[in-house]
Structure 1
Amino acid sequence: MKLPFLFGALLAASSALADLKPVWQIDGFKMPESVVYDEQRSQYYVSNINQGPLAVDNNGSIGPIDSNGKAHTLEWVSGLSSPKGLALKGDYLYAADTKELVVINVEEGKITARFPAPEAVVLNGLAFDKKGTLYVSDWAGNKIYKLEDNELKVWLSGKELESPNGLVVKGNHLYVASWGLNPGADFTTDTSGLLKKISLKTGKIENLREKGNDAWMNLDGLHPIDGGWLATDFMKGELLTLDDKGSIKSSEKLAPSAADFFLVEGQDLIVVPYLMANKVVAYKYEK
């Protein structure tokens, strides 16, 4: 797959000054899409897409950063294709890798399992529920998968998912950061994205704001905070604070291609991968 023409413009704009205060920055990643923090081992894991975001090309990787942002390894675990969303559970790191879910033993630094989803278009966001069940979004395929009995199965599908990206399980619901309907080659959409709430029991989908009643957004990363949510708008390069109804309370400027961030709440730190700028930046998050 050739890179969309928009990527050049995103890269050119990625030097824009951020309103948030940078704490550290590491350059040299290969299209980093997602970051997750491993508190037990005091390090971050970063997914490197490396070229085509939808490609099954075996050139993607996972690279760690130490907790101080002073050292990193680009290709700690290779053999992936275009890994995006990450989730950590115990000694295992899960990566959404286009048409499969990849499991990595972080103590050994080795891939231990692969769960195929051949009909998926591009697996993206990950979230565990309290029982340990893993949910996986298919961004361009308008599906949500569930890892069950060692098999990745479609749990929910339909255009009403509107390009599901970031996922969070909270209580008895799965919350979805949607990108918007019908993303094109340049990632623009026919409709604005929005926050969705899905019952884990019934699969009922609820939009948390009425369309047209808020600013346009293309949501990527998602994290719960008191009274609402933090989300990244990939296209505009903004960190959005949403209320519990999914409407924008405030926004702070990052830069275009800000993807699936991680909030380290104990340190008040937001770590943001910039897909097209090939860098990861940590910012001080002032509530």
Structure 2
Amino acid sequence: MAVAALLALCSTGPATVAHAQDAADQPFMAGAPLDLSSNAKTYGGFRFAESMAYDEARDLYVAVNAGIAQNIIPNDGYISLINPDGSTHTLKWIGVNRNGLTLNHPLGSDIINGLLYVADINVVRWFDMESGEPRGSVTVEDAQRFNDIEVAEDGTIWASQTGTEESGTWRLYRIGPDGDSSVVVEGAPLARPNGVAFDPDGNVVVVNINDNAVLTFSPDGELVKTEHAVDGGNDGLVILDDGTKYVSSVRIGTVSRIRPGEEAEVVASGIPSAASMSYDSKRNRLLIPMNNWNAITIVELD
């Protein structure tokens, strides 16, 4: 009996791998919205929600969940849809199963031209915003792990690599629509770069985890301007059409606002692990995921 049990245990690994491969060959299937009675609402359903995006077309919030760590369960990332009142629309929209899907450990995200782009280790994947189906991906072989991304109208992807404490790993990548990638900025003034966003002039703005700098680079990588959030340890970055910047500190739990030409001020606080946030332009609010707290916070702005 002991030998039989041991053989059964040893066979679990290959069988699991085979099952995963079989699933990858199956047609993609999106998760269905919850079919609740009118007197019921569901909240939650997150597993290390790292970034959010606002789906303006459907007026829904997209929450990107990294899932369980890769060394425990690989390919466990998924994407949820949230109603503006905070209740859950679809618990697992992308990732209800693994049929036709690879989504290992997704972090940063962006929506542009009907596509949801997601940073997934050293790969950027994109999905159809209507069906949830995978539409493509690009791999950057020399990248360690992308953190946040911002995507231009022409499909150019800007991606931060937070790296380690070694400055040579601090990078800002540009990935062209043809898939060619280049390192635009490496090392200081980057200091474990995280959030990435475009300003109204088409520059690329980056915030750091290791300090409170808010760095504005030209598309060629020239440092144009340096501003400062109130706190360091920054993760999320939102820039409005008038140039106002909002910066979330994943370490301190605050949100700084930097209006053009003014000093930073704290507009929200007490938010544990305030990660890669987004902006609801219809309601003038910030959408902040709280990664390992498995929650989101909505901040109403004045």
Question: Normalising by structure 2, what TM-score?
Answer: 0.74
Q: Note the 1:19-38 alignment, pairs <5 A.
A: 26-38=43-55
1:270 and 2:286 correspond: yes
1:174 and 2:204 correspond: yes
The Cα of 1:157 is off from its aligned counterpart by 3.5
Mapped to 1, the partners of 2:246 and 2:254 lie a distance apart of 10
The Cα of 1:167 is off from its aligned counterpart by 1.1
Residue 139 and residue 247 in structure 1: after superposition, are their counterparts in 2 closer, same or farther (change >3 A)? farther
1:220 paired residue among 235, 246, 260: 235
Residue 258 and residue 54 in structure 1: after superposition, are their counterparts in 2 closer, same or farther (change >3 A)? farther
Residue 69 and residue 255 in structure 1: after superposition, are their counterparts in 2 closer, same or farther (change >3 A)? closer
Deviation string 1:108-139 (CA, Å, 9 cap, x unpaired) is 21112121123222212222335442211112
1:108 and 2:138 correspond: no
The Cα of 1:230 is off from its aligned counterpart by 0.7
The Cα of 1:61 is off from its aligned counterpart by 1.1
SS in 2 for 1:107: coil
Counterpart of 1:31 in structure 2: which amino acid? F
| RMSD of equivalent CA atoms | 2.6
Residue 215 and residue 40 in structure 1: after superposition, are their counterparts in 2 closer, same or farther (change >3 A)? closer
Q: Which runs of 5+ in 2 are unaligned?
A: 1-40, 96-101, 164-168
Q: Note the 1:227-266 alignment, pairs <5 A.
A: 228-244=244-260, 247-266=263-282
Counterpart of 1:204 in structure 2: which amino acid? E
Query: Residues 56 and 81 of structure 1 are in contact (CA less than 8 Å); yes or no, is this contact kept in structure 2?
Result: no
Residue 149 and residue 229 in structure 1: after superposition, are their counterparts in 2 closer, same or farther (change >3 A)? closer
Residue 178 and residue 206 in structure 1: after superposition, are their counterparts in 2 closer, same or farther (change >3 A)? farther
SS in 2 for 1:72: strand
Deviation string 1:71-104 (CA, Å, 9 cap, x unpaired) is 3323221231111111111221000111100111
Deviation string 1:171-199 (CA, Å, 9 cap, x unpaired) is 1311111212xxxxxxxxxxx23100111
Q: Which runs of 5+ in 1 are unaligned?
A: 1-23, 181-191
Deviation string 1:10-65 (CA, Å, 9 cap, x unpaired) is xxxxxxxxxxxxxx994230000111011111211111012338999211111111
2:5 paired residue number: none
Counterpart of 2:49 in structure 1: which amino acid? P
Count of equivalent residues: 248
The answer to which structure, 1 or 2, has the higher relative contact order (CA under 8 A, 6+ apart) is: 1
The 4+ residue runs of structure 1 with deviation greater than 6 A are: 53-56
1:74 paired residue number: 91
Mapped to 2, the partners of 1:195 and 1:172 lie a distance apart of 16
Q: Note the 1:104-183 alignment, pairs <5 A.
A: 104-129=127-152, 131-140=154-163, 141-160=169-188, 161-170=190-199, 171-180=201-210
1:203 paired residue number: 221
Counterpart of 1:228 in structure 2: which amino acid? T
1:47 and 2:64 correspond: yes
Residue 37 and residue 231 in structure 1: after superposition, are their counterparts in 2 closer, same or farther (change >3 A)? same
Q: Out of 68-77 and 80-89, give the one that drifted further.
A: 68-77
Mapped to 2, the partners of 1:36 and 1:54 lie a distance apart of 27
Deviation string 1:213-270 (CA, Å, 9 cap, x unpaired) is x754111111124463111000011111124468522342132211111121221222
% same residue: 21
Mapped to 2, the partners of 1:25 and 1:54 lie a distance apart of 30
Q: Out of 91-100 and 224-233, give the one that drifted further.
A: 224-233
SS in 2 for 1:34: strand
SS in 1 for 2:282: helix
Mapped to 2, the partners of 1:172 and 1:227 lie a distance apart of 11
